[in-house]
Amino acid sequence: MTPHASTMTMAERLERWREDGAITHEQHDAIGAMARKARFSVALEIHALLYLGVVSVAAGVLWTVQTHFANLGDTVIVLTLTLIVGVCAWYCLTRARPYSPGEVESPTPLFDYVLYLGGLVFATELAFIETRFALFGDAWDAHVLVSAVLFFAAAYRFDNRFVLSLALSTLAAWFGIKLTQFGFGSAGSLRVSALAYGALVAGMGAMLRRFDIKPHFVDTHLHVAATAAFVATTSGVSSGDADLFYVAGLLILAGLSVAYGIRHRQFAFVAYGALYPYAGLSLRLIDGMSATSVMAYGLVSGSAMILAIVSIARRFGRDA
C-alpha cells in the first residue's frame, strides 16, 4: 500500500516524482543529496570567486597606476609591476608540469589564477611603459601584438584557458588598432575586420588541432570566432547596399554553426545559429513597422524562440 502523503519521507516523495516523470534522474540525485544534507561540490563557486578576485586585483593595480603615477614616479611603478610579474612567473615556472601537446592538469589550485594575474599585470606594465616612454615610436601598437604573442605562448605552454582568452582579446584589440591607423573607421570596415579576425582565430584553432596541439583549446577558438563573425554579419543585415550580402552570410554561418553543434554535441553553437539570425532578420523585418506591430512581433516571435531554445536544450540534455 502506498503510504499517505503526510507520512511520506522526502526520499519517498522524490522517488515517486522521479517515477512519475515530474523530475529527471539528475534532478532527483541533486535534490536528494540536499535533502540528505550530503556534501556537494562548491568548486565552481570557488573558481568564480578566485577569477573575480584576480580581475579585481588587476583592476586595482591599473587604477593605482593611472591615478597616482605622478606621485609614485615612473621608476617605482615599473619596478613594482616588474616585481609582481616576476613573482607570478617564478611561481608558475617552478611549479609547472612538463609541457605536453595534450591536456595537462594544473599543478596547484591557484596556478591558473596566478598565471592569469601575471598576464594582466604584464599587459598593464607594457602599456604604461609605452605610454610614458614610447619605446616603439610610431609603431606603438606593436606592444599590443607582442602581448598577444606572449599570451598565446603562455596559454599553450601552461595549458591555461584564461590566458588563451586574454590572448584572443588582445589580438582583437590589435586588429582594431591597425584598422584605425589605416584610416578605416567606418562600420563596414569594422565588420570586415571582425570577419577577418574570426576567420584567423578559427583557422588557428583548426590548424593546431590538425597538428594535435592542445586540441581541447579548439572550442575556445571557435566560440570567439563565431561570436565575432555573427556580430559582424548580424549588424550588417540592415547596413544598406550590402545588407543582402550580410543576410546570405548570416544564414550560411548559422547553418554551419548548427551543423557543427549537432555533430559535436555543442549546444552553444546551435544556440548561436538560432539566436543571431533571429536577431538580424528581426531587425530587418521590423524596419518601418509601427510601435504596436513591433511589440506584437517581439512578443510572439520572442516567445516562440525561447520555447524552441529551451526545447533544444532539453533534447541535448537528454542525449548527453
Q: Using CA atoms, how far apart are residues 7 and 124, in angstroms rounded to an integer? A: 63
For residue 108, give the 3-state DSSP assignment: coil
- Give pLDDT tens digits for 196-221: 888 999 999 889 888 899 988 998 89
pLDDT of residue 253: 92
pLDDT of residue 158: 92
For 250-273, b/e burial (b = at least 16 CB within 10 A) is beebbeebbebbeeeebbebbbbb
pLDDT of residue 37: 47
Cell 552570410 -> residue: 249
The identity of residue 146, as a single letter, is V
Neighbours of 146 (CB within 10 A): 15
- DSSP states along 173-193: HHHHHHHHHTT--SHHHHHHH
Q: Using CA atoms, how far apart are residues 132 and 283, in angstroms rounded to an integer? A: 45
Q: Using CA atoms, how far apart are residues 140 and 314, in angstroms rounded to an integer? A: 50
pLDDT of residue 43: 46
For 185-201, b/e burial (b = at least 16 CB within 10 A) is eeebebbbbbbebbebb
CA angle 78, 83, 86 (to 5 degrees): 120
**Would you write out the chain's pLDDT as a tens digit for each of its 320 residues?**
444 444 556 666 767 767 776 667 666 566 665 555 444 444 445 555 655 666 666 677 667 766 766 667 778 888 888 998 999 999 999 999 898 888 888 888 888 888 988 888 888 888 888 777 777 666 667 878 888 999 999 999 999 888 998 899 888 888 877 766 655 556 677 788 888 888 999 999 889 888 899 988 998 899 999 999 998 888 888 766 567 788 888 899 999 998 988 888 888 888 888 888 888 888 878 877 777 888 887 888 888 888 888 777 777 655 54
Neighbours of 74 (CB within 10 A): 13
Cell 562600420 -> residue: 187
Q: Using CA atoms, how far apart are residues 262 and 38, in angstroms rounded to an integer? A: 36
Is the alpha carbon torsion for 93, 107, 222, 124 positive or negative? negative
pLDDT of residue 183: 54
